[in-house]
Amino acid sequence: MTIPQNPLLNDRDVEFLLYEVLDAPRLCELPYFADHTRETFDLYLQSCRRFAREVLFPTYRPVDASPPRFEGGAVAVHPALKQVFRPMIELGVLTAARPADVGGQQLPLVVAMLAGAYLMAANLSACGYLGLTTAAAHLIQTFGDETLKSTFMTRLYAGEWTGTMALTEPQAGSSLADVQARAERTKAGHYLVRGSKIFISGGDHDLAENIVHLVLARIDGAPPGIKGVSLFAVPKRRPEGGRLVPNDVEVAGVIHKIGWRGLPSLAMSFGERGDCHGYLVGNPHQGIAYMFQMMNEARIMVGVNAAATASAAYHEALGYALARPQGRPLGSKDPRAPQVPIVEHADVRRMLLRQKAIVEGSLALVSTTARYADLAAHAADPVERERAQRLLDLLTPITKTFPAEKGFESNALALQVHGGYGYSSEYLPEAWLRDQKLNSIHEGTTGIQGLDLLGRKVVAGGGAALMALGGEVEQTIGRARRAGVEPAWCERLGASMSLLGELTMHLAEAGLRGDVERMLRHSADYLELASILVVAWQWLAMAAAAREGLARGASPAGFYEGKLCAAQYWFSTELPRAQALAALCRSGEDSYARMRPEWF
Amino acid sequence: MTIPQNPLLNDRDVEFLLYEVLDAPRLCELPYFADHTRETFDLYLQSCRRFAREVLFPTYRPVDASPPRFEGGAVAVHPALKQVFRPMIELGVLTAARPADVGGQQLPLVVAMLAGAYLMAANLSACGYLGLTTAAAHLIQTFGDETLKSTFMTRLYAGEWTGTMALTEPQAGSSLADVQARAERTKAGHYLVRGSKIFISGGDHDLAENIVHLVLARIDGAPPGIKGVSLFAVPKRRPEGGRLVPNDVEVAGVIHKIGWRGLPSLAMSFGERGDCHGYLVGNPHQGIAYMFQMMNEARIMVGVNAAATASAAYHEALGYALARPQGRPLGSKDPRAPQVPIVEHADVRRMLLRQKAIVEGSLALVSTTARYADLAAHAADPVERERAQRLLDLLTPITKTFPAEKGFESNALALQVHGGYGYSSEYLPEAWLRDQKLNSIHEGTTGIQGLDLLGRKVVAGGGAALMALGGEVEQTIGRARRAGVEPAWCERLGASMSLLGELTMHLAEAGLRGDVERMLRHSADYLELASILVVAWQWLAMAAAAREGLARGASPAGFYEGKLCAAQYWFSTELPRAQALAALCRSGEDSYARMRPEWF
């Protein structure tokens, strides 16, 4: 039994998304992307996917097996990571979507992200260092002064130094209002930072000569709560007298993560000896607002990572199911007949089609979201930019959560397809299952995303974002009708969108009455409902593009037939759940509102 | 922050199930259980739960951290397992439910299983050895001759030797028709066995002086397929001349399991040197039928294990949520107010209540199933025995699957409640999540259970089992109405049962027409539908008992209120899914039936 090499992502699917579903080359009509064409997109994609398959993926298993070591106060990463770190930077990953004036290639985010998805599917830990670094650089690019840019941003974008997000503290967790790290202004202009942070990914390592931590802390005398939190760039070693000197940033401990095992997650101490220099980014007390630029980018990256992790496992399961002979078709009772590959069993095909629907639905979702990010930043018309920004804001919690939550289910199915073998570390699906679990936690848990969607995003601007989404869905329905997609799917999606709109009005009214608890009680269910609809919208768009492809005789026809099967699956199996979820949200069902801690 | 000691199971809930929901002491009216009373039940429960908490649970983490070593052809287990092995046997675990004439205590299975659930929650690997041993002994007790009983059964029940199930072969997996191991009859009466087996739990270890493998193999000249498979007792060392000599049974390799890490899963070679003696159990070619006794017991034990594993994680998450301060209630904007325990957040309570509904619903389900097993074996009236056997057969695939599948979700929620900490091996939920994943695979995957339920169990005897279930549900509805449980719940459960009946008729008709593929296409969805209904039935029974408890002023009232909240949750959140699932099964939705391998 030979299992084929895992492609990580299906190239044909990426091509389909960019060129048949989203028409990404149209972005090149915008000035920012004017130097690009489909050919430059493909060049970048091709170099990333080749590197992912040939260089990066072979490092995944050894890196997972040997987590970073913490010795003598410093973290040493797996040697394989050192070998791939520089070549990854040379691919242009750090600056692919950034402007030319900071050394970037000005590629659309939708292209950069799909290329990045190959790398994440190959070795997500290796990508973690770079994702944090480019996001940290971007934060300084946007809000930092020229000194910060020349000192930190340039070295981050060059990959000479790496970056981190240092938000979370042990006593506060997700509650950023409770950040206690302190910053005392000195006469020299810098601040002395003091405090403990936890879960700092890439907080120490030996891949680069320096690390820039973006730290949330309170300037002495700042107001309590989130309105008193400022943002600082705090290097591991600070430039002083033309060289780098230690900056009183210490590793306090290593968290033994169950996945992402190439990327250390650390407890860090800043300023234990009173000598930790921090450099204010932007204005005082604006740290949370600034950090949300990095956080929102990171949330979308979580979605991409989740989709990529589910994709790698799905292709592994598919390869296994095509190769592994076992049993015979239902009704074939002759035990002397040869066994068939397990893909021939209906339940195995069900598990694979569910994975396909989740994986490709997730990839379409993250691509669509990235395209709105491109338009929000670079569309010619300010009205169009605002509209795209609304859609981006609305879709961010969904893009962060759906691939993470359903991706975990998809990863579990990939393991299940492997049967008893899947339960062993000799096969890869269990590792991706461990990796995936982080995505419902970091950068805001699923619970927090639900509150963000229902408590902020859908009600902001009088529901403008939801209306904009309705417009986009209508457009897709129109395209689907013209392409000859099943009218029932179009009708069901339209009806479900109306349902979501009515439900949102109903819940918003409770909020306007001041009953915030009632409004948000079922925010997790609301998020699930919205996710099912948004992914149904993606599947309708893919079904339309598939019908168009079949109509013009594009090949292979089987690729399009598979898309239509997966769309059918989603419309028959998932979308019908919308009704019960909407009824549940609307009902005000109060079991866990009533439940008291002592009743458990 | 002090997290309380994990109780593993809630004692009050076990008491509630046995004495308020199921009236277990009524079993003592039957001759087999006549020596027992509630007091003897409680004595056994008390000794097991104390041992589980004080002795066994402290071994869980070290055993998980250091899997068995395979050196010099033999497997050495963790030293902590050696310390607990004998004391566990002395608790009476191996023979609790067995008859006095084989040294047993004749306890009802429902009591033995709930006591066993504490042990499984404390350290499932340690329990694995004993579960396999008592099941192997039982198989020989039922089908073996006197020589086999005196040689093997007595030593197994005494815990001097341990047992295994050796069914699976590398090339056949779940397809037992493809078993290739051979057995050649010798003039001396024994057989020479030759073949390879895989995934043999407890296939080698250093806990006991000998191991008895129950091996499926084909006698030379046997017909092909499952009708040519026989069952053999094959010891690691065979008794010869008054001592034990090696029996040509070798460990071929160790599978690196991701959980259950105290119980080795092995590839085994039988008879490589042509000197492996096997002893036929029962008649030739009846091996599969015999094995199904052990398999069915094992399937129920999987359900118990899954419920126990989810229970341990749920109580860990509950303890954490009660102790961990973070954030403030919605609408409380004063950052100087103290943080509240996270159990105060609605979404955390949602995650906990969902776990409670799954865990306690699962424990009720396995208890109910075990009680039918008690009645099937020991009821006075043969009609009653037959009825109980039908219900046992019907419930077995559900009892095997629901706690495994929903328990995995519950375990993931326990990790999620712990936030970033849950993603580390410093905290226990990740270990239980790994453990739980096996339960959807071993002893017949979820896919196989779906085929068993819809293809065999509900249609056997003209639907007699489903009718019997309908009768039981009606009785529970009557009790609930009398107790004053919400009439809407009673009506909804009744309506859903009718829906299941109609759907089953509809699908059975397709089978009768010869369209087996159409009948079984949605067997996974059918199994999920049936599971939701059966667990709703359990929650209605618990709600009825809770109302009765409140009416008679039993304490603590909060315990009953919590039960009613969880029942409300199930009836509002899960039962409404029945309609869409039934419609899906009925629709004949054919996406994965149409899907071709090359379209993925």
Cβ contacts of A593 on chain B, cutoff 8 Å: 346, 349
Query: Is the model's pLDDT at A333 over the cut of 90?
Result: no
**pLDDT tens, A86-124?**
999 999 999 999 999 999 999 999 999 999 999 999 999
Report the gap between the CA of B316 and the closest CA in chain A (Å): 12
pLDDT at B4: 83
Whether the Cβ atoms of residue B93 and residue B85 lie closer than 8 Å to each other: no
Is any Cβ of chain A less than 8 angstroms from the Cβ of B345?
yes
pLDDT at A504: 98
Using a CB cutoff of 8 Å and minimum separation of 24, what contacts does B334-343 make? B334/A225, B335/A177, B335/A178, B335/A224, B335/A225, B335/A226, B336/A224, B336/A225, B339/A171, B339/A172, B339/A175, B339/A178, B341/A597, B342/B417, B343/A597, B343/A600, B343/B318
- For A183, phi and psi rounded to 5 degrees? -140, 125
Query: Is the model's pLDDT at B207 over the cut of 80?
Result: yes
Residue A229, CA distances (Å) to A176, A179, A277, A370, B446 in order: 9, 7, 17, 29, 50
Query: Is the model's pLDDT at B1 over the cut of 80?
Result: no
Please name the residue that has the structure tokens 């990066």.
A56
Report ipTM (2 d.p.). Answer: 0.97
SS3 A249: strand
What does chain A come to in residues? 600
Cβ contacts of A488 on chain B, cutoff 8 Å: none
Q: What is the mean pLDDT of chain B?
A: 96
pLDDT at B222: 96
Q: How far apart are CA B377 and CA B413, in angstroms?
A: 38
| Contact at CB, B576 and A597, closer than 8 angstroms | no
Kindly list the catalytic residues of B.
Answer: 443
- Average pLDDT rounded to a whole number, residues A364-377: 98
Which secondary-structure segment (H or E) carries B258?
Answer: none
**pLDDT tens, A206-262?**
999 999 999 999 999 999 999 999 999 999 999 999 999 999 999 999 999 999 999
Q: How far apart are CA B21 and CA A599, in angstroms?
A: 18
Query: Is the model's pLDDT at A464 over the cut of 80?
Result: yes
**pLDDT tens, A561-599?**
999 999 999 999 999 999 999 999 999 899 999 999 999
Residue A55, CA distances (Å) to A551, B61, B331 in order: 39, 37, 51
Query: Is the model's pLDDT at B444 over the cut of 90?
Result: yes
Name the packing angle between helices A382-417 and A464-483 (round to 10°): 70
pLDDT at B329: 85
List the 190-229 stretch of A: residues with Cβ below 8 A of B.
Answer: 198-199, 224-226
Query: Is the model's pLDDT at A66 over the cut of 80?
Result: yes
Query: Is the model's pLDDT at A549 over the cut of 80?
Result: yes
- For B165, phi and psi rounded to 5 degrees? -110, 120
Cβ contacts of B593 on chain A, cutoff 8 Å: 346, 349
Whether the Cβ atoms of residue B49 and residue B11 lie closer than 8 Å to each other: yes
- Average pLDDT rounded to a whole number, residues B258-287: 97
How buried is residue A101: exposed, middle or buried, by Cβ count under 10 Å (0-12/13-18/19+)? exposed
pLDDT at B53: 98
| Contact at CB, A516 and B600, closer than 8 angstroms | no
Q: Where are the alpha helices (DSSP H) in B275-379?
A: 287-323, 346-378
Query: Is the model's pLDDT at A82 over the cut of 90?
Result: yes
| Contact at CB, A345 and B199, closer than 8 angstroms | no
pLDDT at B302: 98
Q: How far apart are CA B170 and CA A420, in angstroms?
A: 10
pLDDT at A293: 86
pLDDT at B333: 74
**pLDDT tens, A17-62?**
999 999 999 999 999 999 999 999 999 999 999 999 999 999 999 9
Q: How far apart are CA B567 and CA A151, in angstroms?
A: 60
How buried is residue A561: exposed, middle or buried, by Cβ count under 10 Å (0-12/13-18/19+)? middle
Is any Cβ of chain B less than 8 angstroms from the Cβ of A510?
no
User: Model pTM?
Assistant: 0.97
- For B390, phi and psi rounded to 5 degrees? -60, -45
Name the packing angle between helices B287-323 and B124-143 (round to 10°): 160
Please, how many CA atoms are within 13 Å of residue A385, restricted to the half-sphere of its CB? 7
Cβ contacts of B580 on chain A, cutoff 8 Å: 576-577, 579-580
Name the residue among A319, A308, A240 with its Cα closest to residue A275: A240
- For B197, phi and psi rounded to 5 degrees? -125, 160
Cβ contacts of B172 on chain A, cutoff 8 Å: 326, 339
| Contact at CB, A352 and B572, closer than 8 angstroms | no
Whether the Cβ atoms of residue B264 and residue B201 lie closer than 8 Å to each other: yes
pLDDT at A332: 79
Residue A401 token pair: 């959560």
Q: How far apart are CA A443 and CA A299, in angstroms?
A: 6
pLDDT at A176: 87
pLDDT at A494: 98
pLDDT at A3: 78
Closest partner residue to B343 (CB to CB) among A328, A589, A597 is A597
Report the gap between the CA of B421 and the closest CA in chain A (Å): 8
In this prediction, residue A173 has a pLDDT band, given cuts at 50, 70 and 90, of: confident
Q: How far apart are CA A189 and CA A277, in angstroms?
A: 10
A385: Cβ–Cβ under 8 A, 6 or more apart, which residues?
A375, A376, A377, A378, A379
Q: How far apart are CA B218 and CA B195, in angstroms?
A: 10
- Average pLDDT rounded to a whole number, residues A265-294: 96
pLDDT at B361: 98
- Average pLDDT rounded to a whole number, residues B567-576: 97
How buried is residue B189: exposed, middle or buried, by Cβ count under 10 Å (0-12/13-18/19+)? exposed
Cβ contacts of B201 on chain A, cutoff 8 Å: none
Q: How far apart are CA A528 and CA A11, in angstroms?
A: 29
Catalytic residue at A443? yes
Q: What is the mean pLDDT of chain A?
A: 96
In this prediction, residue B87 has a pLDDT band, given cuts at 50, 70 and 90, of: very high
List the 44-103 stretch of A: residues with Cβ below 8 A of B.
Answer: none
Closest partner residue to A423 (CB to CB) among B345, B422, B441 is B441
- Amino acid in position A56: L
B386: Cβ–Cβ under 8 A, 6 or more apart, which residues?
none
- Amino acid in position A249: V
pLDDT at A331: 77
Catalytic member of A169, A316, A443, A472: A443
Closest partner residue to A572 (CB to CB) among B327, B562, B584 is B584
No. of helices (H) and no. of strands (E), chain A: 21, 12
List the 111-170 stretch of B: residues with Cβ below 8 A of A.
Answer: 168
Residue B218 token pair: 């084909």
Q: How far apart are CA A149 and CA A157, in angstroms?
A: 10
Is any Cβ of chain B less than 8 angstroms from the Cβ of A254?
no
**pLDDT tens, A506-530?**
999 999 999 999 999 999 999 999 9
- Amino acid in position A209: E
pLDDT at A197: 97
Q: How far apart are CA A436 and CA A260, in angstroms?
A: 9
